[in-house]
Amino acid sequence: METNNMKVTHPFQSVKFDRIAYIGAGMGEHLEELTAALNSSEWLLIEGDEKKIPTLQKKASEFEAENRKIYIKSTILSADGELKTWYNYNLDEYSGLAKATGLNELFPGLKLQSSEAISTQAISEALAEFSSAEGVNGLIIDIPGQSEELLNALYATENLTNWRFLAITTTDTPLFDSSEDAEGIKQHLSNAGYHTRGELGDDPDFPVLYYVLSEAQQQLIAERDQALSRATDAEKQRDEAVARASSASKELEQLKQQFNEKSEQADSAQTKVEELEQAVNQANEEKQKQTEWAHSLQTKLEEAVAEKGKLAERAEKAEAQIEDLQTSVKEVSEERDGAAAKASNASKELEQLKQQLNEKSEQADSAQTKIEELEQAVSQANEEKQKHTDWAHNLKKQLEQTQAELKEQQRSAQLSTKLLAKVEADASELRERYAEKVKSEQELKDLIKELHAKLQAASHFYHKLEQEHPELLEKL
C-alpha cells in the first residue's frame, strides 16, 4: 500500500527495537524513511502482491547493513488463513482482500478490473516465529482495509501483546467493505491495554495510529494470561480429577460386584469341593468293594483250578481203568478168536479216546461213542461172562461222570474268564473315573488359588483407595 504518512521523524524513533514486522510493505516506497527513523536489528517485510516482490527485494538490499537484517515474506495475510477473494483495481496500491466501497469518492477513476479466489495465510501463523522471541517488538500494518481484521485476529489468538509498539494505517471513514474507521480501532486497542499520545499521520484520509503497551502493562497482561492459563489448567485438572474419581467410583463398584461374584463362586466352589470329596469317598468305597470282589473271584478261580486238578486225577484213574479194560479185552481175545479182532479194534479206539481226552475236552462225546462200541464188542465177545459186562457198564458210568465233570469244568472256566474280563473292564473304568476326579479336584484347587490371589489384589486396591481417596469411600 502506497501512502505518504511516514516521515523521518517518527514517534518511536527513540526506541531501540529488537525486531519490526512491516505488513503491506509494497515495493519498499517507505523503507528508506522507516529504516532511517527506527532503530531495529531485524526487519520482516510482508507483501501479498507477487508483482511487487522483485522491487521490494532490490530496495531492501540497499538498506540492509551489518547491524540490520531484513527478511522478506511473500504471502497474503488473513484472519483465519482460509480461501479468500482478491480484488484487482486499476490502482495497484488498493488491490487486496478488502473490497473498496467508499474509495470512489476519493478516487472517482478507481475501477475494479477482476477478482479471483486465492489462498491466504493466518497472520498469527505468519508472525509466530518472528514474534515468539523475547525483546522489544514493533508492528506496522499498512493495509487500511484489513487493519481491524488483522488486529482482532492477533488479539483472539493472544498474540497481540507480543508487539509493544503498533503503527496502524486506517481510514477516517469506512472506505472498504466490512472495515471500521479509526475510532473503532482506537477503542479496540484501548480495551487491549494500549495507550497513545494522539499522534496521527499526515494524510487525513489514511491516518496512522501509534499505540504503545507499557512494560508494566505488558507484564500485567502476561501475568493475567498466565493466570488464565493456570486457571484453565486447574479446571482441566479438576475435571480430570472428577473424571478419575468417577472412574474410581465405578471401578470400586465393579470391584465390589466382582468381589460378590467371586464370593459366590468361592461358595459354589466349596460346595463343589465337598461334593467331589463325597464322590471320591464313594469311589473309594466302590473301589474297595470291587477289590474285595476281585479277591473273591481270585479265590474262586483258585478253587476252580484245584477242582480241575482233581478232575485230571480222575481222568488219569479212568485211563488206568481203560488200560485194565484193554488187558481184559486181550485176555478175552485169547479165549475167543472171533472176539479178538473186535477187542483189538476196541483197544485202538480206546487209545484214540485217551489221546482225544488229553488234547481237547470237546472230544469226550466221541470217546463215549467209541467206549459204547467197545462195550458192545466186549458184550458180543464175552456174553457168557456177566462179570466183565457189569464191569464195562460201571466203566461207562464212570466215563459219563468224567465227561459231565469236564463239561462243568469248561463252563466254570468260561464263567471265570468272563468275570475276570468284567472285573478288568470295571477296574479300568474306575481308574479312568478316579483320574478324572483327581484332575477336576486339581483344577478346582487352581481356581481357588487364582480366586484367592484376585481377592487379595482387590483387597489391596480397596485399602489403597481407602488411604489415598477416603472422600470417595465417604460418598459411597
Q: How far apart are CA 257 and CA 255, in angstroms?
A: 5
What confidence tens digit (pLDDT) does each residue in 402-446 have?
Answer: 777 778 777 877 777 777 777 677 777 878 887 888 888 888 888
Per the structure block, which three cell numbers stand in for 400?
459219563
Q: How far apart are CA 391 and CA 316, in angstroms?
A: 18
Same domain flag for 367 and 421: yes
What confidence tens digit (pLDDT) does each residue in 321-332 have?
Answer: 666 656 665 665
Is 2 within a domain? no
How much is the average pLDDT of 23-43?
92
Identify the bridge partners of residue 138 per DSSP, sorted by sequence position. 20, 165
pLDDT score, position 351: 66
CB 143 within 8 A of CB 95: no
Lowest mean pLDDT among 76-80, 366-370, 425-429: 366-370
pLDDT score, position 224: 62
Per the structure block, which three cell numbers stand in for 245?
474419581
Is 32 within a domain? yes
What confidence tens digit (pLDDT) does each residue in 140-169 have?
Answer: 999 988 888 898 898 888 888 888 899 998
What count of other Cβ atoms lies within 10 Å of the Cβ of residue 56?
Answer: 22
The residue that leads in pLDDT, 80 or 179, is: 80
Q: Which of 360, 7, 369, 15 is nearest to 164 (CA)?
A: 15
Q: Which of 23, 21, 1, 20 is nearest to 150 (CA)?
A: 23
CB 451 within 8 A of CB 265: yes
Same domain flag for 165 and 270: no
Maximum Cα interatomic distance, the chain, rounded to a whole number of Å: 182
Same domain flag for 287 and 192: no
Number of domains in the chain: 2
Is 223 within a domain? no
pLDDT score, position 337: 60
How much is the average pLDDT of 341-348?
58
As a whole-number percent, the residues of the chain with pLDDT over 70 amount to 70
pLDDT score, position 86: 92
Alpha helices in 44-95 (DSSP H): 53-63
Burial of 306 (0-12, 13-18, 19+ CB in 10 A): exposed
3-state secondary structure of 333: helix
How much is the average pLDDT of 277-300?
74
Find which of 228-232, 335-339, 439-443 is predicted with most confidence, using mean pLDDT.
Answer: 439-443
Band the pLDDT of 392: cuts 50, 70, 90.
low
Q: State the pTM of this model.
A: 0.47
Is 280 within a domain? yes
CB 124 within 8 A of CB 23: no
CA dist list (Å): 370 to 247, 338, 373, 377, 399 = 103, 19, 5, 10, 11
Band the pLDDT of 3: cuts 50, 70, 90.
very low
Per the structure block, which three cell numbers stand in for 201?
499521520
Same domain flag for 139 and 259: no
The residue that leads in pLDDT, 347 or 411, is: 411
Q: Phi/psi of residue 469, each to 5°? A: -130, 65
Mean pLDDT of the chain: 77
Same domain flag for 254 and 203: no
Same domain flag for 206 and 158: yes
How much is the average pLDDT of 292-298?
70
DSSP string for residues in 388-413: HHHHHHHHHHHHHHHHHHHHHHHHHH
What count of other Cβ atoms lies within 10 Å of the Cβ of residue 361?
Answer: 16
Same domain flag for 135 and 261: no
Q: Phi/psi of residue 172, each to 5°? A: -70, -35
How much is the average pLDDT of 196-210?
77
- Cα of first residue to Cα of last residue in the chain, in angstroms, is 69
Q: Which of 213, 17, 44, 49 is nearest to 118 (CA)?
A: 49
- Domain span holding position 264: 236-468
Is 475 within a domain? no
Same domain flag for 434 and 285: yes
CB 139 within 8 A of CB 163: yes
DSSP string for residues in 183-250: HHHHHHHHHTT-B------S-SSS-EEEEE--HHHHHHHHHHHHHHHHHHHHHHHHHHHHHHHHHHHH
pLDDT above 70 (res 458): yes
Same domain flag for 82 and 31: yes
Is 450 within a domain? yes
3-state secondary structure of 1: coil
3-state secondary structure of 166: strand
Same domain flag for 79 and 168: yes
Sign for the pseudo-dihedral over CA of 47, 48, 51, 54 = positive
Same domain flag for 164 and 271: no
pLDDT above 90 (res 106): no
Domain boundary among 178, 213, 248: 213
As a whole-number percent, the residues of the chain with pLDDT over 90 amount to 19
CB 381 within 8 A of CB 343: yes
Q: How far is CA 24 from the centre of its chain?
A: 57
Is 11 within a domain? no
pLDDT above 90 (res 242): no
CB contact set of 150 (below 8 Å; sequence gap of 6+): 23, 77, 79, 123, 141, 143
Sign for the pseudo-dihedral over CA of 434, 435, 439, 445 = positive
pLDDT score, position 7: 44
Is 226 within a domain? no
Same domain flag for 195 and 252: no
DSSP H/E element including 292: helix 215-335
